[in-house]
Structure 1
Amino acid sequence: MNKNTTLLNIIISFTLLSACNLSLAEDSAPANASIENTEAKDNTKVENNSEAENKVYVIPTPQISRISALETSLKNRQLTHQLDTLEANGDPFLTLYQPSLTSSTQGCVIILHSDNEHPDWPDAVAPLRNALPEHSWCTISIEVPDITKRAEAVNTQISTQEDNSQAVELPNQDTVFSRILATIAKAQSNEIEVFALLGYKTGAAYALNFLANNSDTANALILIDIETPATTSHYSLAQQVRKIPQPILDYYINSNAGSSQFAMWRKQAANQRTEINNDFIQLDAVPDRANGKKSKQLLVQRVRGFLKQNTNQRDQRKTLPSVKKGLFYESP
């Protein structure tokens, strides 16, 4: 073999080897790139999952915020002595306590506020819980859990279901009932013997249904602007009045045909009670509300007068000179 042939063979072999290496490099590059991309995507998924696990979602808690604001308000007004936390079925709840401001305590009024409100709500709850202690009644206003979430629409339709054969079940009923019982037990430990239940709007629905199912726990019932939760029949709730032997004050606003019908059902149920010795007093609040600023004062007078006439009143421990009694006592 001559030199030229040998040189030609070397050149051909080198060319083939270079082409083979280039082909192998091209084939391996996409595979490596694919592996790297896959690993990068997997790492991104891990990071995203980790972020999702560590992310804190803020859930609105309107009732907690409302109660916290109430506590702050009372602290700013130097009224923290009224705050008291009780427990029912392992669940703590807030109460506002006001002792009787006289030497003769007649009893205690347990107050239930309406939905999406708090134990010192200004419309009716605060005026009553602050004024009644001046007339020998202690007051305990209880925190009631919300029924309607703020984002939900409120159903204002009057239910006409005429079925009183079944027991009425209100939303959060077990929770509210256990709180009422815990409050009564706490007051009894302080030697309170006479109790009146007072509910405002949906709080009145709870008070009515509670006494219908626990008739030996209170001596009187006061319903202020009673409202029925949307899931409950107005007629069925009204029939619970038949089960209550205690005196009842039904102070309501007759604003439309629906409220008038609901009031009529409550009146009819009261007339069907077998215990006819105790009064059912139903008053339309519209005339009182027409007095503007004096409406809250009139509300207090209505409630105070009802309690005075329909509960056993203790004698005043401190007597006054007979010649001056006319200044302090109403004429018989």
Structure 2
Amino acid sequence: MPRAIRPALAALCLALLPASPVLQAEEDAAAPKETAPAVERAPLEERSQEEASNLARQLPAREQQQLKAGEESFLVLWQPANVSEPSGLVILLPGEGESADWPEAIGPLRRKLPDSGWSTLSVTLPDPSGDPPPPRPLKTGEPSKAEPAVSPEKAEEEGPANTEQAGSAEPDTDPAPPPLSRDAIQKTQTERVFARIDAALAFARQQNPGAIVLLGHGTGAYWATQYLTASEPKDVRNLLLVAAELPTGYEPALEDSLPALKLATGDFYYKDQPTDRDAALRRLHASKRQKHPAYIQIAMKGLPADRRTEQEQLIRRIRGWLSLHLEADASKAPSKAASGPSI
């Protein structure tokens, strides 16, 4: 082959070779980048909404009702009484962190009371914080598509020019909303809870029950008490508390609220829990001081090793109270109830 052709052949071979990684990286950095459109992620659902969605998938459609409280829709679980003439309807309010079919108290009662002639309506309450759910977090450790990652060495080489370019964008002039105060959060939470109880009561009244009983478990007992104190519905004359708790940071205490409610009240607590026992004793003393006409305490024994028997015990005690102490008018309740005997 003539020597004159060799340089041309070598140049052709070099042209066909792929570019080196260093050269390719510099070309990619110099090329204009396409900015991906910003996509706003939907906020996370509240825990209560997620659990309600799970219940909606697991339970028969005939047990589910969607009610409206203001702009919010929420799930309630409806079980009509398994008799031709029901004794009434029990509205169940679960405690903090519990669902409308919680395995302690709420779920067993909503399924078993219909066999005793009582319809049940179990309510999904909002999450306890009252804050809107947080936005979905961005994935960490990945550079944004709109802003390619720059190495420290590259940043030093580019110097002030890069800084000026980065600072040329208009700053965000929208101020961040101020954090809500504790009082504002509690007010919002109270309004949301009361709105859901209102909606549950409206549904209950459509069933024309003989009597309506409000039953709260855990912190649900606090919300039941506060709702009846604030609203004083004439057709709710019976209140049941099961293992009552005060939500953290809320007031007044139950012993300060309950005596003012001259309703037929059953207060069920576990006597082997020192905290529960002491709180129950304060409620009993307060009821005696104010001569509550129809306040009855029922002490139960916790059975952590046998939850099934523990729940059966609770169901029997609730049925016993409903058959012996149910009142359409609290003024007709027997005065002996003020002594707080156990069933």
TM-score (norm 1): 0.66
**What displacement does 1:171 show?**
6.6
The answer for unaligned runs of 5 or more in structure 2 is 1-26, 134-185, 329-343
Residue 268 (structure 2) aligned to one of 248, 251, 259: 251
**What displacement does 1:202 show?**
1.0
Task: Determine helix, strand or coil for the equivalent of 2:312.
Answer: helix
1:144/1:176 contact within 8 Å kept: yes
2:218/2:242 contact within 8 Å kept: yes
Cα gap change, 1:110 to 1:72, in 2 (>3 Å)? same
Q: Does 1:127 align with 2:108?
A: yes
**What displacement does 1:237 show?**
3.0
Separation (CA, whole Å) in 2 of partners of 1:239 and 1:221: 16
| Amino acid in structure 1 at the alignment position of 2:315 | V
- Partner in structure 2 of residue 139 of structure 1: 120
C-alpha RMSD of matched pairs (Å): 2.9
**Greater mean deviation of Cα atoms: 258-267 or 286-295:** 286-295
- Partner in structure 1 of residue 317 of structure 2: 302
**What displacement does 1:64 show?**
2.3
Q: Does 1:229 align with 2:247?
A: yes
**Greater mean deviation of Cα atoms: 299-308 or 283-292:** 283-292
| Amino acid in structure 1 at the alignment position of 2:44 | I
Separation (CA, whole Å) in 2 of partners of 1:286 and 1:171: 36
- Partner in structure 2 of residue 177 of structure 1: 194
User: Over residues 214-244 of structure 1, what are the superposed CA-to-partner deviations in whole Å (9 max), with x where a residue is unaligned?
Assistant: 33341211111111111124x6332110221
Task: Determine helix, strand or coil for the equivalent of 2:246.
Answer: coil
1:147/1:171 contact within 8 Å kept: no
Question: More helix per residue: 1 or 2?
Answer: 1
Separation (CA, whole Å) in 2 of partners of 1:73 and 1:218: 31
1:170/1:206 contact within 8 Å kept: no
**What displacement does 1:40 show?**
6.1
Residue 93 (structure 1) aligned to one of 74, 78, 83: 74
- Partner in structure 2 of residue 28 of structure 1: none
**What displacement does 1:170 show?**
7.0
User: Over residues 181-238 of structure 1, what are the superposed CA-to-partner deviations in whole Å (9 max), with x where a residue is unaligned?
Assistant: 22212221222241100011011111111122233341211111111111124x6332
- Partner in structure 2 of residue 277 of structure 1: 293
Q: Does 1:80 align with 2:58?
A: no
Separation (CA, whole Å) in 1 of partners of 2:53 and 2:201: 24
- Partner in structure 2 of residue 18 of structure 1: none
Task: Determine helix, strand or coil for the equivalent of 2:201.
Answer: helix
User: Over residues 108-141 of structure 1, what are the superposed CA-to-partner deviations in whole Å (9 max), with x where a residue is unaligned?
Assistant: 0000111122111111111101111111111000
Residue 230 (structure 2) aligned to one of 213, 217, 223: 213
The answer for unaligned runs of 5 or more in structure 1 is 1-36, 152-168, 314-332
1:238/1:266 contact within 8 Å kept: yes
Task: Determine helix, strand or coil for the equivalent of 2:281.
Answer: helix
Q: Which is higher, the Rg of structure 1 or of structure 2?
A: 1
- Partner in structure 1 of residue 279 of structure 2: 262
Q: Percent identity?
A: 26
Alignment of 1:196-207 (within 5 A): 196-207=213-224
Separation (CA, whole Å) in 1 of partners of 2:104 and 2:187: 23
| Amino acid in structure 2 at the alignment position of 1:310 | H
Separation (CA, whole Å) in 2 of partners of 1:242 and 1:170: 23
Separation (CA, whole Å) in 2 of partners of 1:59 and 1:92: 16
Task: Determine helix, strand or coil for the equivalent of 1:220.
Answer: strand
**What displacement does 1:258 show?**
3.6
**What displacement does 1:284 show?**
2.6
TM-score (norm 2): 0.64
1:170/1:229 contact within 8 Å kept: no
1:251/1:285 contact within 8 Å kept: yes
2:47/2:127 contact within 8 Å kept: no
- Partner in structure 2 of residue 21 of structure 1: none
